[in-house]
Structure formats: structure tokens, C-alpha cells
């Protein structure tokens, strides 16, 4: 049991490192200065918005979609971890490979701990075109309770 937990924790740590490294590589590919990205992952948001707005998403095959989703998950996760204080956890999931799923976890504004599957967030947001990187971040923030939904105050 402890060996399996250690194996899961090692795999999770490796996943988190790979995610952060991929996000940094992508920011560099998008022309974001490394020092700016290291200081604030949100520095890459305008470049992400420009990039996804020009993609021919309706022409994407499955492998293109998987690559884009994985890249957006890297950016989303790096932002949530470094800017919002979230961290990765492995939660049990019998339907997932290895019997667990990697999720982001954070203490919400209301003091409750919440979990968010970043792949589910990216999938949900990308199902409504146009794809919007800001909406990806905002959806995850709401899911983790790190921001409050706007209330309609106009009557």
C-alpha cells in the first residue's frame, strides 16, 4: 500500500514538473519573454488568445485536438499553481488509467477545499467556439472557488 502511494506521488510530482516545463516551452514558442513568464504566467495570456484565435479548430483532427487540449491544460495548471496557489493531487478514479486522476486542488474564497479536473475544464470550454483562453482560466477559477461569479445587478 505505501509502495503504491509512493509510486503515485512520484508520478504526480513528475506530471506536475512536466506540465510546468511544457507551459514554459509554450510561452517561449508564443514569443513571451522567459523572464516575464517566470514572473507571472498571466503574461502569456495575450499570446495564447492570439494563437488560439487563429487556429482552424473546425479542421482539427483528433490528434490536433488532444495536443491543443494538453497544451492548454499545461498553461491552465501552471497559472493556477503559481498565481492562485493551487496544487496537484491524485484522486481515486476506478475509470482512469492507474486508478487515479490528476486534479488541481485549492482552498476557495469561502474556505472550502475544491478540486478541478483541468482536462474537463478545457474540454468543456473548447466545446463552444470560439475557443477563449481567458474563459479556460475563468472556468477553472470558478470551479476552484477562487473567484465569485458575476451577479446580475441590473433590474
- Angle between helix 62-84 and helix 133-143 axes, rounded to 10 deg: 60
Instruction: Report angle CA 55, 102, 109 to the nearest 5 degrees.
Output: 90
Q: Give pLDDT, residue 103.
A: 96
pTM, to two decimals: 0.89
What pLDDT, in 10s, does the model give residues 94-134?
Answer: 898 878 899 999 999 999 999 999 999 999 999 998 999 99
Q: How far is CA 35 from the centre of its chain?
A: 21
Question: φ, ψ for residue 103 (rounded to 5)?
Answer: -130, 160
How many CB atoms are located within 10 Å of the residue 117 CB?
19
What pLDDT, in 10s, does the model give residues 50-74?
Answer: 999 999 999 999 999 999 999 999 9
Query: Which set of grid coordinates corresponds to residue 109?
Result: 474564497
pLDDT exceeds 90 at position 76: yes
For 31-136, strand residue ranges (E) read 87-92, 100-107, 113-116
- Secondary structure (DSSP) of 93-116: -TTSGGGEEEEEEEE-TTS-EEEE
Amino acid at each position: 500500500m505505501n509502495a503504491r502511494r509512493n509510486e503515485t506521488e512520484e508520478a504526480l510530482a513528475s506530471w506536475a514538473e512536466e506540465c510546468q516545463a511544457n507551459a514554459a516551452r509554450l510561452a517561449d514558442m508564443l514569443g513571451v519573454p522567459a523572464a516575464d513568464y517566470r514572473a507571472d504566467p498571466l503574461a502569456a495570456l495575450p499570446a495564447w488568445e492570439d494563437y488560439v484565435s487563429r487556429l482552424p479548430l473546425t479542421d482539427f483532427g483528433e490528434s490536433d485536438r488532444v495536443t491543443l487540449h494538453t497544451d492548454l491544460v499545461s498553461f491552465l495548471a501552471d497559472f493556477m499553481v503559481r498565481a492562485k496557489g493551487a496544487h496537484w493531487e491524485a484522486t481515486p478514479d476506478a475509470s482512469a488509467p492507474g486508478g487515479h486522476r490528476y486534479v488541481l486542488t485549492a482552498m476557495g474564497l469561502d474556505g472550502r477545499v475544491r478540486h478541478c479536473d483541468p482536462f474537463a475544464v478545457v474540454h468543456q470550454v473548447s466545446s463552444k467556439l470560439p475557443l477563449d483562453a481567458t474563459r479556460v482560466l475563468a472556468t477553472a477559477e470558478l470551479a476552484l472557488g477562487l473567484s465569485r461569479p458575476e451577479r446580475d445587478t441590473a433590474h
